[in-house]
Structure 1
Amino acid sequence: MSLKSGLATFVGKSTYTLLYGVLHRGGTSLPGKLATKIDPNVMKSYAEKYDVILITGTNGKTLTTTLTTRVLREKYADVITNPSGSNMMQGITGTMLTAKLKDKTQRPIALLEVDEANVESVARQLKPKAFVLTNIFRDQLDRYGEIYTTYEKILKGIRLFPGATVIANADSPIFMRGDLPNPKVYFGFNHLQTTNSMRAPHNTDGVLSPTDNSILRYHFMTFGNQGDYFSVTDDFKRPALDYAVTSLNKLTPISSNFDIDGVTYQIEIGGMYNIYNALAAYAVGRFMGVSATQIQKAFSSNAQIFGRQESVKVKDKEVTIVLIKNPVGANQVIDMMKTDEQPFSMLALLNANYADGIDTSWIWDADFESLHDTGIKAVATGGERYKDLYVRLKMAGFGDHPVYQDLQKIVPAIASMPTKRVYILATYTAMLQLRAELKQQGYINTGMGD
């Protein structure tokens, strides 16, 4: 470790100690920010000390990282991670600098969620053993551009390490682009056995064949551009799966029961999209030598996941906080709500800060209209861009409804909802603001990174 690197490490660790030990505040971004100002390459000294696994993609990074951490801790004593979703260079640097290891005899694992645009810079310093690719959907066009631009950002990091294993969602055809020499592990869904042929819905992104850019067809689709695809112009098709969901047994708003390769698993969170996250965690676990029995035990944990279908009791209301940020994710949340057999209310919060994505046009591709076929009894909108969301829901047929630009009014608003069950759909910074308000009023005891 060079003198500059040593100083950067000292400053980062000291800042972390001050924040947590003295001021009792969370967060790893500030320690990482200060350390990288002194030495932008401070993490290089950690590359040889860890087996590094990077998880990236549009949706599901945080939950996949959380589930994978639980899986790996069934076998490994030291698995460090960035559980709060601080997934850019500064946050990841802070995570590496402040990690506390327990077992000196076992090689530690750094399992890190990484923002798509940061894969190259993080990989360059940490030399990953594996890259995990969840999916790529249209998201934050102001930051990433279209989906092929986003994937190219990820590929720049993977191409630096041709020996690293790529653990990819094979149901997403975009991941078949790039002609990578890396070892590959593929996961996906094989829950339907059919020879049907179907086209994707007209507004689906990412359905071009990587061989000749023709429009792919599907034997079945799960959601977004994902499914069992094939080309009608050549012999391109979805590759054989190493690990597959073979049955969807029961889906509710709060749990998912499914089979992977014939063995039953359950996670205490709803939505088909979260089964993909569990499947990714399963694939990483098997890659790292974790047994199926150990994975079943890891999945059975019902610990809350920050901002991801987090359940909060507000007076007599059962509140579920769900992160939304793009049309595919929003539609999956809507589909999850459709599995609720009880009446419910919905409060949607929209911000458009840098971390949310400044472009809010995606709300017009979210299928709010389909909620009319559910037990929804009331809607309300809020957040800094409440006017946009108000118009969207009014156009979806929900008419005039309450709006709450001031999040201090959210808790009374929740209490006034006509149903016991309330779903709050929020973009990232709106979710942070909401949690801060709920924490201040005593409804949440933990904050980000606690």
Structure 2
Amino acid sequence: MNLKSGIAKIAGKSSYWFLHNVLKGGTSFPGKLAMKIDPEVLNSLAKGYETIIVTGTNGKTMTTALIVEALRKKYGDVLTNPSGSNMQQGIVTAFLAHKHKHSTRKIAVLEVDEANVKMVTQLLHPKTFVLTNIFRDQMDRYGEIYTTYEKIVNGIKLAPDAKIIANGDASIFSSVELPNEKVFYGFKLPNDKVENDFKAPVNTDGVLCPKCDHILHYHERIYANLGDFFCPNCGYHRPELKYTVNEIIDQTPNGLKFKMGKKDYSINIGGTYNIYNALTAYSVAREYGLSDEEVAQAFAENKRIFGRQEMIKYADKEIDLILVKNPVGLDEVLHMLNTEKDDYSLVTLLNANHADGIDTSWIWDADFEGLNRDKIKKTLVGGQRWHDMGFRLEIAGFEPGSMLTNPDDDSLIEEIKKLPTKKVYILSTYTAMLALRKAMAEKKIIKAGM
């Protein structure tokens, strides 16, 4: 460690202590400060750690949390960035904030923004890359899915000896020849039939063959572009899977039960997309030496995390706060809501700041029309772009006269108290969620921070 990095670490740690003990917040500023003093401080901070990088469009935060929970069962202390602050400065802050406890192996599991994989890999040498999926997301930042994957590949190429654990159901992840060892996971359900031959729906992105640009076909499709794909033109097909989900046993918005291999697993959140997250974490855990029993115990104990089906008790309400950020993720949340057996109220919050993506047209690609409206007793629309979301719901068949519109967070919280159902689902973009949580913290409904 040179003098510059030493000063950077002291400054960063001091600012972190002040922000969290005096101001009760701050997830990226200490990292920004440390990097201003020494742009390569991460190299020094990460020395001696086996680093696992988790990246992809959807599921990074939940997958990272599940991996950490599992690895802690076997190895004790694991460093991570639990707030979801996944750009370079947030990752530096995670190292600055970490107080190393007893562990038999120094492991860091880091959620990394797709566009930051190369920068992070340049400064710490990952042992493992974990790839969840790639969907169309924030076109102003990432462009099409092929440019997003190119950003990730440019990072992986800097670490040719790192293992890749990737979603084999995503055709893009096996499309580029890399020297790295590869492990693939995916769904292999009882109803999978090799003789099946069909295409994904016409509005599905990422269904062109990465080798010849012909439209991909499927033997089985789980959702979006994920499934047992094959190209009838050039023969490109899903790679061999090492780890699989073999059966979905039960699904509700508050719990999932499924089979991987010969064992049943359960997690206390809903949505088929979260089974993929669990499968990803399971694959990593098995590669790191955990048994099925250790993984199952970790999953059963997993807590809901910040903004990802976060449960909030307020007045007599049970609020489920869910981050939505792109058409595929929103679609899967809407499908999950259709598994709700009780009546509920629906709150939708839409912002269009840089962290959300400034283009709101993505909400038109989600299937609001498919929602079971008989279960929805009241709808409340908020956020800076409440008028866009309100119009989208109106076109989907929601009565405009029965919709409440309230862009102000303080008064929105009061309206939530008046909703006619005990269960309330809030679907929110990222900055709208941060603003709502801040307002709730000021009212002592939840704790401040993440």
Quickly name the TM-score band, shorter chain normalised: over 0.9
Aligned-residue offset at 1:214: 1.0
Which residue of the other structure, out of 131, 135, 139, is the alignment partner of 1:133? Answer: 131
Q: Mark the runs of 5 or more structure 2 residues left unpaired by the alignment.
A: none
1:420 aligns to what? 422
Aligned-residue offset at 1:142: 0.6
2:113 equivalent to 1:124: no
Deviations 1:274-323 (A, max 9, x none): 01001111011011111111101100115221111111122112111110
1:276 aligns to what? 276
Q: Mark the runs of 5 or more structure 1 residues left unpaired by the alignment.
A: none
Q: Secondary structure at the match of 2:397?
A: helix
Q: Secondary structure at the match of 2:118?
A: helix
Contact 2:338-2:372 at 8 Å conserved across structures: no
Aligned AA for 2:416?
I
Count of matched residue pairs: 446
Q: Secondary structure at the match of 2:318?
A: strand
1:163 aligns to what? 161
Aligned AA for 1:112?
L
Quote the sequence identity (%). Answer: 52
Q: Secondary structure at the match of 2:186?
A: strand
1:55 aligns to what? 54
Q: What CA distance in whole angstroms lies between the structure 2 residues aligned with 1:27 and 1:137?
A: 29
**Structure 1 segments of 4+ aligned residues over 3 angstroms from their partners:** none
Q: What CA distance in whole angstroms lies between the structure 2 residues aligned with 1:95 and 1:48?
A: 14
Aligned-residue offset at 1:373: 5.4
Q: What CA distance in whole angstroms lies between the structure 2 residues aligned with 1:417 and 1:14?
A: 44
Deviations 1:37-68 (A, max 9, x none): 01111111244410000000000000001111
Aligned-residue offset at 1:24: 4.8
Q: What CA distance in whole angstroms lies between the structure 2 residues aligned with 1:280 and 1:333?
A: 19
Aligned AA for 1:44?
N
Aligned-residue offset at 1:188: 0.6
Q: Secondary structure at the match of 2:25?
A: coil
2:296 equivalent to 1:293: no
Aligned-residue offset at 1:405: 1.0
Contact 1:265-1:296 at 8 Å conserved across structures: yes
Aligned-residue offset at 1:246: 0.2
Contact 2:141-2:357 at 8 Å conserved across structures: yes
Aligned-residue offset at 1:410: 1.5
Contact 1:77-1:108 at 8 Å conserved across structures: no
Q: What CA distance in whole angstroms lies between the structure 1 residues aligned with 2:159 and 2:19?
A: 35
Contact 2:24-2:449 at 8 Å conserved across structures: no
1:316 aligns to what? 316
2:329 equivalent to 1:333: no
Deviations 1:53-90 (A, max 9, x none): 00000000000011111000001122000000000010
Q: Secondary structure at the match of 2:309?
A: strand
1:188 aligns to what? 186
1:177 aligns to what? 175
CA RMSD of aligned residues (A): 1.2
Q: What CA distance in whole angstroms lies between the structure 2 residues aligned with 1:179 and 1:103?
A: 39
Aligned AA for 1:163?
D
Contact 1:29-1:90 at 8 Å conserved across structures: yes
Deviations 1:131-188 (A, max 9, x none): 0000010100011111111111111100111110011011111112221111011111
Contact 1:166-1:183 at 8 Å conserved across structures: yes
Contact 2:66-2:302 at 8 Å conserved across structures: no
Contact 2:317-2:417 at 8 Å conserved across structures: yes
Q: Secondary structure at the match of 1:59?
A: coil
Which residue of the other structure, out of 378, 402, 405, is the alignment partner of 1:403? Answer: 405
Normalising by structure 2, we get a TM-score of 0.97
2:433 aligns to what? 431
Contact 1:247-1:262 at 8 Å conserved across structures: no
Aligned-residue offset at 1:374: 5.0
Normalising by structure 1, we get a TM-score of 0.97
Aligned AA for 1:180?
L
Contact 2:345-2:377 at 8 Å conserved across structures: yes
Equivalent residues in 2 for 1:17-96, closer than 5 Å: 17-21=17-21, 23-96=22-95
Pick which of 300-309 and 242-251 moved more.
Answer: 300-309
Contact 1:8-1:42 at 8 Å conserved across structures: yes
